[in-house]
Chain A
Amino acid sequence: MSLANIKHEDEARLGHVIPMVPESTIKEESYLQMVVRRFKKHKLAVIGLFVMIVLGLMAIFAPIIAPYDPYAINETFSAPPSPLHWLGTDQVGRDILSRLIYAARVSLMVGVGAVAISVAIGTILGLLSGYYGGKIDMVIMRLTDVFMSFPHLMLILVVVSVVGPSLTNVILVMGLLFWTGVARLVRGSVLQVKQLDYVKASIVLGLSTPRILFQHILPNVIAPILVNGTFGIAAAIIIEASLSFLGLGVQPPTASWGNMLTDAQSLTVLSSQPWIWVPPGLLIMLTVLSVNFIGDGLRDALDPKSIK
């Protein structure tokens, strides 16, 4: 992060925390407006956001939108798409479209839940580590090293099989494992921000530590956390899908896009019943792609270096 960058975010902080400075709003657009303007320039990110809003609404209003109960068993098993069941039925006769709609809840919950936990842990540890330095820093960074030395998917597989596969456990496990990136990021930013005059001044002024950390330092590192978190959501969604696909994630009868794909391991399903596995696969891809585009758009919008 260059100095110009920090200076910029410094202004951002002022614009954010003390919005009553009138000149800045008259003369130039607020930081938020600038971010929005820049974000809008990233066409794919806007499309991604739109898709995510649609998916979000779909998840929230699933009971209203879904044509059937996702657990209800219908007359025909493995039926191809028909006017009655637009995307056909699965191998125990459940409506695939309804299951897809309900499964959006799982993916979004996993994405947001896991990232919220990991960002919370990572931010706190990163702030402490960067601000205090010394022994605390050493301990936290070694802990980070230990956590980074696990190949994540392997560890998740082991842990999930230990605590039992379920939605909550998958979210918790990912949240508790993925904080290392955020922690390092925050620590790095804190180390730089600490050198700034106004932070030094706050320390001299004797402001309380939490106040310095959360009021003066945190706003400066929000941008990278946001970008990192968005990409984290995409990663979490893919990992949940992979785990569920392997049968170690969200368990049926609860529908998840990943576990809906499990049946496709059978070559019969793969070759003669594509309606069972293609739609959930495409939806995972669409969702992850959208989140990644949003992340990319946010990065461009929040990083002044990338003005196009």
Chain B
Amino acid sequence: MFSYIIRRLLITIPIIFGVTIINFLIINMAPGNPVEMMIDPNLSQEDIEARKDALGLNAPLYVQYFNWLMNLLKGDLGFSMSTFEPVTQIISERLGPTILLMGTALFIGLFIAIPLGIISATKQYSKLDYFVTGGAFMGISIPNFFLGLGLIYIVSLQLNLLPTGGMVTLGGDNGLADRTLHLILPSVVLGIGIAGKKIRYVRSSVLETLGQDYLRTARAKGLREFIVINKHGLRNALIPIITVIGLEIPLLLGGAVIIEQIFQWPGIGQLTISSIMSRDYPTLMGLNLLAAVIVVSANLLTDIVYSLVDPRIKYE
């Protein structure tokens, strides 16, 4: 097991290295540069060239990449080309809100999906089952920006119940209640999407477990159905779901881009869009590196957890 983890970690390094090279090339292929952000007849070419020199943008690409890589090895992701703040600082400021949003969304998603999936499986082919499965399909199929806009329209504009966006009310008390109110809409939108996907996994996973021989044995022993399902069924049914949660993280990162944009959530997604718009190369490189690391470690972690909960899985 230990050697397996070590080996997986070692494989990870060239993958991430490859990702950074590809990212660097793609980002630098973008037309335009971070200095020319406005068309302003007052902006002289001399100023632009001077700024480009100062930012190192006039050096050959491989030199720029090499410099970036060397700094990375020192733990330095460089300075943003638009705000001149350290990239690590910018990203860490934005990471908190995104984790909060993603965590809550994942929680809401599972909170909907696990009970509904179980009910749906235990009452297979009932009206309720069809209803839940149909609802799950709706959850997958509705574009999250449309759902987001719809909820803003109904809940915020018509009913005036929740704020339309942001993370806190400015000048307000910034209390827990205020934060929670702001968190509800975006996390529910993301959560519904997750629930849509997870309900079907939970349902089929539970169905499969319920058909296993040991449950029949348990029933035959005369155990109550409640105990059969809860004690014996669920534990085994939930194993595959853990894997699926791990796989969800990269998707969540992507989904957060749009939701953060609509709800002005000051997280990683919003930062990504604004860095693309301002051609902020160092910040984009940092963001992509972070994303790659998250995805790779999510995959790794999933495999490890999976092997821990299911001793049948062996690694040479």
Contact = CB atoms under 8 A, between A and B. Distances in A.
Tell whether A and B belong to one assembly: yes
Interface of A: 44, 142, 145-146, 148-155, 157-159, 161-164, 234, 238, 241-242, 245-246, 258, 261, 264-265, 267, 270-271, 274, 277, 281, 284-285, 288-289, 292-293, 296
A265 B295 CA distance: 31
Say what secondary structure dominates the interface of chain B. helix
Contacts of B69: none
B146 A281 contact: yes
Interface string B251-280: 101110110011000000000110010000
Contacts of A267: 152, 157, 164
22 contacts: A44-B134, A44-B137, A142-B11, A149-B16, A149-B292, A150-B292, A154-B254, A154-B272, A154-B291, A155-B288, A157-B272, A157-B273, A161-B276, A162-B31, A238-B143, A261-B146, A281-B143, A281-B149, A285-B138, A288-B140, A288-B141, A296-B137
Given A142-B15, A151-B291, A270-B153, A246 B137 contact: no
Contact of B30 (A145, A162, A281, A292): A162
B141 A261 contact: no
A21 B253 CA distance: 52
Say what secondary structure dominates the interface of chain A. helix
Contacts of A293: 137
Interface in B101-128: none
A267 B149 CA distance: 9
A145 B143 contact: no
B155 to A, nearest CB: 12
Interface in B283-297: 284, 287-288, 291-292, 294-296
A246 B143 contact: no
Interface centre among B14, B142, B284 (most CB of A within 10 A): B142
A235 to B, nearest CB: 9
Contacts of B157: 267, 270-271
B138 A153 contact: no
A158 to B, nearest CB: 6
B143 A285 contact: yes
Interface centre among B138, B149, B284 (most CB of A within 10 A): B149
Nearest to B261: A246
Contacts of A44: 134, 137
B141 A161 contact: no
A151 B293 CA distance: 10
Contacts of B146: 261, 281, 284-285
Interface centre among A153, A163, A265, A271 (most CB of B within 10 A): A153
Contact of B141 (A148, A164, A292): A292
Interface residues of B, number: 51
Contacts of A246: 258, 261, 273
B94 to A, nearest CB: 13
Contacts of B152: 267, 270
Nearest to A145: B15
A285 B141 contact: yes
Contacts of B150: 281
A296 B140 CA distance: 12
Contact of A288 (B143, B273, B284): B143
A256 B138 CA distance: 21
Interface string B213-241: 00000000000000000000000000000
B136 to A, nearest CB: 10
B143 A242 contact: yes
Contact of B295 (A150, A163, A285): A150
Given A150-B292, A150-B295, A151-B253, A245 B145 contact: yes
A146 B272 contact: no
B43 interface: no
A149 B295 contact: yes
B301 to A, nearest CB: 14
Contact of A158 (B138, B164, B284, B299): B284
Contact of B255 (A145, A153, A277): A153
Contacts of B16: 149
Contacts of B27: 158, 162
Contact of A150 (B144, B272, B288): B288
B254 A151 contact: yes
Ranked 7 nearest A-B pairs via Cβ: A153-B254, A289-B141, A281-B146, A288-B141, A151-B253, A162-B30, A151-B291
